[in-house]
Amino acid sequence: MRVEGKRLAREPQLVLEHFLPYRLSVLSNIVSSRIAKFYEERFQLTIPEWRVMAVLGRFPGLTAAEVTERTAMDKVQVSRAVGRLQKTRRIEQRAVEGDRRARHLFLTETGHGVYVEIVPLARDYEHKVTATLSAAERGQLDRLLDKLLAAAGTL
Amino acid sequence: MRVEGKRLAREPQLVLEHFLPYRLSVLSNIVSSRIAKFYEERFQLTIPEWRVMAVLGRFPGLTAAEVTERTAMDKVQVSRAVGRLQKTRRIEQRAVEGDRRARHLFLTETGHGVYVEIVPLARDYEHKVTATLSAAERGQLDRLLDKLLAAAGTL
DNA sequence: ACAATATAGTTTCACTTGCAACTATTATCA
DNA sequence: TGATAATAGTTGCAAGTGAAACTATATTGT
């Protein structure tokens, strides 16, 4: 009934800590949870909320559906993040003329202030994460992520 | 009240799709959710369960605490995965002599069969994800992940 | 024009998750 | 030895999640 002894030697094995999906997941979880903790403590902001603010900072007036396209979040997540951001007065909405289902979303002045404050902090954190990499390695990392993201999208 | 017009041009901006934490999260989520779906459909297995099985396949007899150390899962997650795996008869436990709190965990014959079936499938998937990379790039990826994981762990 | 479809966004539900509290057991040390 | 602290593992709870159902509005085809 038990599995032990030399049988194992010849059988397929998987070394979890060398397994790409596992490594990606661990790395991503570490990075995301640190950021999440930081945003939460400092701004009472979740990562989905931050993502919505980030795209609205760059593209004021997107609708929720357009935010969804640009963030790899699903529409439920966006809807909830938008709801919370409105409650906390970081974003506001205006009618889309010609379509009463959708609304344009904008950072409020308050929201924009938060955005402007976070952006350099986010960059700092990114730099810390990649601090042990050389410039060449950072370039490699970018290229590899591009390729992997493209590949993963079409699998 | 609104944020628009040329003000934006001079203000800090963050391009989400170039932001490392975001990119890592998106890539990891795509990869993990595909795998999760596959494991679920084919083996009624969650990723935490699979991780537990993967380490027990390689290190039969670990205790739950030891599984925790080796998987970057927390003990609650391990406890629940172990519970489900016992219910589905994929693992079993034996007493640890000299400590009645802990138990050694082993794959059952059934569990081992699942393990042996999954391992090559997992490898295949990994290869598919990296199929667009050259051998050199795969090497780079490994090295970069090593460095980033080491760095992230100590931040 | 109007029935059938599609889309924007919200809500419900079942499930997962992590934190903290908890039980049981073992280790420490005065 | 007996009190205190540490450890293994489980459970309760509050919050987050995605899938599917739902409302409201817009589009399409006849």
pLDDT, tens only, A17-65 = 999 999 999 999 999 999 999 999 999 999 999 999 999 999 999 999 9
- B135 assigned to some structural domain: no
Give which of B37, B78, B88, B76 is closest to B54, Cα–Cα: B78
Q: How many domains does chain B have?
A: 1
List A residues 129-148 in contact with B (Cβ-Cβ < 8 A): 129-133, 137, 140-141, 143-145, 147-148
**For residue A101, what is the domain's CATH number?**
1.10.10.10
- B150 assigned to some structural domain: no
- B134 assigned to some structural domain: no
Tens digit of pLDDT for each residue in A88-134?
A: 999 999 999 999 999 999 999 999 999 999 999 999 999 999 999 99
Question: What does the alpha-carbon distance between residue B24 and residue A33 come to, in Å, rounded to a whole number?
Answer: 12
Q: What's the mean pLDDT in A134-140?
A: 96
- A1 assigned to some structural domain: no
- A8 assigned to some structural domain: no
Long-range contacts of A96-105 (CB under 8 A, 24+ apart): A96/A63, A102/A63, A102/A64, A102/A65, A103/A63, A103/A64, A104/A61, A104/A62, A104/A63, A105/A52, A105/A56, A105/A61, A105/A62, A105/A63, A105/A64, A105/A67
Nucleotide nearest to A82 (CA to C1'): C9
Quickly state the pLDDT bin for B3 (edges 50, 70, 90). Answer: very low
- B99 assigned to some structural domain: yes
B103 bridge partner residues: B95
Is B72 at the interface with chain A, CB within 8 A?
yes
Range of the domain at A149: 15-154
